[in-house]
Every structure is written in structure tokens, then in C-alpha cells.
Amino acid sequence: MVTVDLAERTDHELLNLHKDGDAEAFGELFRRHKDRMWAVALRTSRDPEIAADAVQDGFINAFRRADSFRGDAAVTTWLHRIVVNACLDRLRRIKPTADIADHDPVEQRDYHRSVEVRLDVREALEQLPEGQKMALVLVDMHGLSVAEAAQILEVAEGTVKSRCARGRAAMAQLLEPA
């Protein structure tokens, strides 16, 4: 019996092997993508504990629901969507009244700060509406295409583009020197 090293398999092949009962295939997918999913979860939640739990939830959901993968997107795009949704679910449990839908950009606040004190990107990002923040994290920080981000966030590509544009404009204002 000839065995092929799982590391040589594509993500699609590994997922199909997992669906067919291969006990090791999903572990290889996890090893390949856990760091990237951790980065997405951490940027989404801004909390290492929530991120760790969301990554775990996401991979467990992917393991159990592998049959839901239709194959019309990259496996990584599918995993991103699952992990982002796991993060948002955890955040909703913490702040059940928080609105994570997209809404107007934050109002420019009158900050009387000294010239030495500036908002860094992380602080500015946290002030954005959730929809804008997620679009910017996926497109600008993780380098996903607008189409991939749209699939992950389950919105139209135009929505991702407009969220990114509004988010960038709000970030530019927030990052202006005082």
C-alpha cells in the first residue's frame, strides 16, 4: 500500500480525505492554518482568551461540518468565515446588546491631546463600527481579496468595498496628529 504524505496534499484534497474518514487529514489542515486563524481571531476579538476559544470553536465546527464545504471557494476562505463567525458569536455572548452590523462612521470627537500623544492603529481600529473593522482586518491586514472578504462576512462585494472606504476615511481622521 502506497501512502502519500499529507503535507503534499492540497487543502481541498485534505478536506475530502477527512470527509472520507481519514483520521489524520483534518489535523494537517489545522497545522497549516491555525496560526492564520489565530491572527484573524485575535484581530477580530482583541482578546487572547476569546480568540483562543473562537479558534477552537471554529475548527471544531469545521471538523463537524466539513460536508457543508461546497468547494466553490478556497478552504482557507471557508475556515476564515467559520472562525470570524465563532468570534462574533463569542463577542455577542459577552455584549449581547452590541450592534455588530455596519452603521455610519464614528463621529470625529474633540480630543484635546498633546502633540506627543497619538492614537495608534489598534486604538483607531477599535473605534470603528464592527462591519468596517472586520472588512479592514480581512482586506488590509490579512491581504484577502474583496471577494474573499465578502464570502467570509457573507455580504456583497460592494458592501465590503464601501465598508473599507468608510473605515479608511474614519481611520485617517482618527490617526491625524492632534
pLDDT band at 102 (very low <50, low <70, confident <90, very high): very low
Q: Is the pLDDT of residue 112 over 80?
A: no
CA 28/CA 34 separation, integer angstroms:
10
Rounded to 10 degrees, the C-alpha dihedral 116/122/124/125 comes to 170
Q: Per-domain residue ranges for the chain? A: 1-98, 101-178
pLDDT digits (tens, 9 = 90+) for 122-131: 777 888 898 8
Grid look-up 489598534 returns 122
Q: Is the pLDDT of residue 119 over 70?
A: no
Q: Which fold has domain 1-98?
A: Rna Polymerase Sigma Factor; Chain: A (1.10.1740)
Mean pLDDT of the chain: 80
Q: What pTM did the predictor assign?
A: 0.62
pLDDT digits (tens, 9 = 90+) for 86-96: 988 888 888 65
The DSSP letter of residue 20 is T
Q: What cell does 144 get?
A: 484577502
Looking at residues 108-119, what average pLDDT do you find? Answer: 36
172, burial (CB in 10 Å: exposed 0-12, middle 13-18, buried 19+)? exposed
**In whole angstroms, how far apart are CA 46 and each of 92, 125, 155?**
14, 10, 23
Looking at residues 96-117, what average pLDDT do you find? Answer: 40
pLDDT digits (tens, 9 = 90+) for 17-26: 999 998 899 9
Q: Which fold has domain 101-178?
A: Arc Repressor Mutant, subunit A (1.10.10)
pLDDT digits (tens, 9 = 90+) for 129-169: 988 988 988 888 878 889 988 988 889 999 999 999 999 89
What percent of the chain has a predicted confidence (pLDDT) above 70? 81
Q: Is the pLDDT of residue 103 over 50?
A: no
pLDDT at 4: 64
pLDDT at 53: 93
Task: Please tell me if the domain spanning 1-98 has the same topology as the one spanning 101-178.
Answer: no
Q: Is the pLDDT of residue 41 over 70?
A: yes
pLDDT at 115: 29
